[in-house]
Structure formats: C-alpha cells, structure tokens
Amino acid sequence: MYIPIKKTAKIAILGFGLEGKSTLKFLEENEYENLQVFDENLEDYEQDLSKLADYDVIFRSPGIHMNHPELVRARENGAQTTSATRLFFDICPCPIIGVTGTKGKGTTSTLIYEIIKDTGKDVYIGGNIGLPALDLMKDIWKESLVILELSSFQLQDLEKSPHIAVVLNTTSEHLDYHQDSEEYQAAKESIVKFQSSDDFAVLNLDYKYYERYENLGESEKFFVSTRKKVQHGAYESHGAIYVGDQEVCKTDEVGLIGPHNLENILPATMVTSILKIPKNHIAKSIKDFKGLPHRLEFSGEHKGIRFYNDSFSTTPETCIAALNSFKDPIILIAGGSEKKSDYTKLGRVIFEKENLDDVILMGDTAQIIKKAILKNGEPKCDITTVANYHDAFDLALEKAWKDSVILLSPACASFGLFKNYKERGEKFKEWVESIKG
C-alpha cells in the first residue's frame, strides 16, 4: 500500500478521540515511528499546541478547526496539515459514496449500505457512522464499495471528492464551530467540487442550497424531490416513490416513520439506481429498513402510551420533523445545551400544532425555546420547565393518557446533561423499560 507520507516524517496527531486513535493505530501498523499525540484535555499526551510548528505532518481531528491559530502557525512554518479522511481518500482502492447534509446523513448512509449489502456485494460503511474510515483499509480492495458519512468538519479541507456524492438538506448548523452559515455551506463544497465526468452527485431540489452545488465539479447531477416530479432523479408523487417514470414502491410500505424520512429514502433510492441495482430489490430493502437507534426510535408501549426516542434530534429542524410524524396527542420533551440555533420556526410550529398537548423543557435552552413559542401568542399546549431529565420523564408520564405519544426530541445538544445524544437516548429507553417492568 502506497501512503503519501515519508517514513521519516515527524508526525503529530491533534486530538485523541475515536478518529485520532484510529489514525495512530493505522500509522503504527504501517511502521511509522516518529509519532506524537496532542490533546489539550488528556494529561497523558502533549498539551502544548505551540510545539506543533516543529512537526512535518499534522493530522487534524474533525472537532479541531483547520484555522486553529497553532495550526495556521504550523502551516506557515512548513508543516503539512491533513486528516484521516484526506488520507483515506488518497489511498482507498475502491469507489467511495459520500453522504453529507445537516441531518439525515446516518439514516441515508445506512439505507444505501443495507440495499447494497443485500445484493451480496462487498460493501463497507464508516466515517461518522460505524468505523473510522482508516479502520476499513484492512478489509477493502478494488472491487469493494465504501459509504462514508461526512461532516462539514471532515469536508472542509478535502481536496478529492467521492465517486457518488449525496448532499442532503443543508441549513444552518454547527455555528458554534463555523464562523457563519456561509462558511458552513462552503465547507461541504468539496464533496462535489473535485468530481470528474465519470462521477455522480445527488442533490435535493426542495432546498435552495442545490443551486450552490449543481455547477460544481464535472459530475452528472441527479435530483430528488418530495414536492414535484423529477425526470432525471427520484421523487414522491401520489403516494409512491419513483425513479424517472418507474415506480419503486408505495410510501405507506416503507419501514421508516415520518414523512421527513422520504428525504433520506429518495437519495438512497437514487444512489442504488445509479449502481444499477434492480428496483424490486431496492423496494424490499426500503420496506425492511426500520431506521437507526435514537432517530425517532420506537422504544415501547405501556397502557396505550407510546414512547419514541429521538435523542439524535439536536436541531430545531429535526424536532419539527419529529412533531410532524404523529397524528395522536403528543407530549414533547425538549431542551439541552445551546448551539446558537434559531428556534423561531420551532416556536411557531409548537404554537400552531393542534395535537401537541404538553411541552416539557429543560437545560440551557428551556427559556429560549419557551420565548420563541410565546412570541406567537398564548399556545394551546401547556409549557413546563423542569430541572433535569428525571423530572421531565416523570412529568411526561403523569400528563399522558391512552393513545398519547411521549416524544423525546430535544432540538439541542446534550452537553452538560449527558456525555452525548446516545447516553441521553439510552437513559430514555431505560426509563421506558422501568415503567414497563
């Protein structure tokens, strides 16, 4: 395997989370010896980032901005800054399918993977979901296919594009990391920008962002829409999913809950159609796929009350999508830590939602969300703020009755309350199990 880094290079790994550990392991397995881990939060590793200027190659972990002052200084001093994702694109022997977007990346990536896997092809999934990309190198060969879920952090300094690029809804996100929405959207351009005429891109016509990406690169562009017929792409019309003029399946047959999930199903359908997988095979996989943990996950039922864990909802947009997935009375549990999101639209949706009985808010954003709701007037639903998730869960159960839906869809990050959205979702599921028990 050719790796475009000299064996004698002095290499720094900046950040020692999942991807940093994977990078260290990969380099050690390939007999690189002059390695140093930097992490400001871990005492066992180098913490003085000013020393980065002494290194030849610096691997940046996704959570560390490419324009961190010490990284800028190191580049000015002659250091090459790269990432595990960039290295994987340089050395991967097989085609890559890359998926990005504000929300839905994991669901779309996994559905593509499941459809391809069910054909018996040698397919792998990684990036932000599953294994870090470099961990896949030991298994893949030229006949394999790799699906990567890619964040703006990973795409920002990429100089190669995948063979098939999928750009889902792209709104405002991670403004605690990116300078503004413009930088966030520009960060994602590399998923299409370097594509050749032999490559393909799938864009969503329902979001104005597509205009930004449709003229980038030289790839053939396909489109998806839940609102109108698309001749060169996939769309939903009159209760069915189509590719061109061919029906794939009925929308009431799909396994995923909620109309918003059509925005994930349509790109997956288009990608696998580009790969010439038969429509009946695609349809079977779409019907069988029930989704990922913590994404509008059915967590149980007790005395006619249904519980849904949507802990992965860390933006107002995903909370709105969850609210629009149910017709029965809803008790919403929301709130968490602040990410500079705009809750105006969520506030209006909550105010207008006829089947929303109660909103239980907590965390740093409780008062912000409440203010966004009350800006529209006096809502029909009750709004309560509580101190913690234990109180939120107990109050939700107290207010629920038969045919109610208790929905955990925070619209916010979990930091300060839980380690991550997974722990938050697991606590919710444990609580549901304790009630059933």
Domain 88-288 has CATH 3.30.1490.20: no
Pairing of strands 164-167, 96-100: parallel
- Mean pLDDT for the stretch of residues 8-29: 96
What residues have CB less than 8 Å from 39, skipping those under 6 apart? 14, 15, 16, 20, 45, 46, 47
Q: What pLDDT does residue 183 have?
A: 72
Q: What pLDDT does residue 175 have?
A: 47
Q: What pLDDT does residue 181 have?
A: 65
Whether the per-residue pLDDT at 63 is higher than 90: the answer is: no
Q: What pLDDT does residue 153 have?
A: 84
> Both tokens of residue 304?
């006619």
pLDDT in tens, 44-61: 899 999 999 999 999 998
Q: Is residue 366 within 8 Å of residue 391, measured between CB atoms?
A: no
- Give bridge partners of residue 249 from the DSSP assignment: 241
Q: Write down the number of H helices and E strands in the chain.
A: 15, 19
Q: Is residue 267 within 8 Å of residue 224, measured between CB atoms?
A: yes
> Both tokens of residue 250?
């009925």
Residue limits of CATH 3.40.50.720 in the chain: 11-82
pLDDT in tens, 369-425: 999 999 999 999 999 999 999 999 999 999 999 999 999 999 999 877 888 999 999
pLDDT in tens, 307-316: 999 999 998 9
pLDDT in tens, 267-295: 999 999 999 999 999 999 999 999 999 99
Q: What pLDDT does residue 172 have?
A: 53
The DSSP element (H or E) to which 272 belongs, if any, is helix 262-274
Whether the per-residue pLDDT at 178 is higher than 50: the answer is: no
Confidence band, pLDDT 50/70/90 cuts, at residue 83: very high
pLDDT in tens, 230-255: 989 999 999 999 999 999 999 999 99
The DSSP element (H or E) to which 69 belongs, if any, is helix 69-76
CA 416 – CA 219 distance, rounded (Å)? 43
Confidence band, pLDDT 50/70/90 cuts, at residue 437: confident
Q: What pLDDT does residue 320 have?
A: 96
Q: What pLDDT does residue 180 have?
A: 57
In terms of phi and psi (left: phi > 0; alpha: psi -120 to 50; beta: otherwise), the region of 309 is beta
- Distance from chain centroid for Cα 111: 13
- Mean pLDDT for the stretch of residues 159-178: 76
Strand order in the sheet with 57-60: 35-38, 11-14, 57-60, 80-82
Pairing of strands 246-250, 240-243: antiparallel
Q: What pLDDT does residue 130 have?
A: 86
Whether the per-residue pLDDT at 31 is higher than 80: the answer is: yes
- Mean pLDDT for the stretch of residues 66-80: 92
Whether the per-residue pLDDT at 74 is higher than 60: the answer is: yes
Q: Is residue 206 within 8 Å of residue 226, measured between CB atoms?
A: yes
- Distance from chain centroid for Cα 305: 29
For 11-82, give the CATH class. alpha beta
- Give, in order, the Cα–Cα distances in Å from 115 to each of 105, 252, 279: 16, 19, 11
Predicted model pTM = 0.84
Residue type, 224: V
Q: What angle do CA 296, 298, 299 make, to 5 degrees?
A: 120
For 297-436, give the CATH class. alpha beta
Residue limits of CATH 3.90.190.20 in the chain: 297-436
What residues have CB less than 8 Å from 246, skipping those under 6 apart? 279
Residue limits of CATH 3.40.1190.10 in the chain: 88-288
Determine how many CB atoms are found less than 10 A away from the CB of residue 241: 26
Residues 321, 323, 328, 330: what is their CA dihedral angle, to the nearest 10 degrees? 160
Q: Is residue 408 within 8 Å of residue 333, measured between CB atoms?
A: yes
CA 31 – CA 190 distance, rounded (Å)? 31
Q: Is residue 113 within 8 Å of residue 271, measured between CB atoms?
A: no
Poorest-confidence range of 100-104, 356-360, 361-365? Answer: 100-104
Best CA proximity match to 297, nearest among 404, 401, 405, 397: 405
Determine how many CB atoms are found less than 10 A away from the CB of residue 127: 28
Whether the per-residue pLDDT at 185 is higher than 80: the answer is: no
Tell me the backbone φ, ψ of residue 430, rounded to 5 degrees: -65, -40
**3-class DSSP state for residue 295?**
coil
Q: Is residue 191 within 8 Å of residue 98, measured between CB atoms?
A: yes
Whether the per-residue pLDDT at 176 is higher than 90: the answer is: no
Whether the per-residue pLDDT at 213 is higher than 80: the answer is: yes
DSSP collapsed to 3 states, 417-432: CCCCHHHHHHHHHHHH
pLDDT in tens, 319-343: 999 999 999 999 999 999 988 889 9
Q: What pLDDT does residue 123 have?
A: 98
Token look-up 């709130």 returns 335
CA 286 – CA 289 distance, rounded (Å)? 5
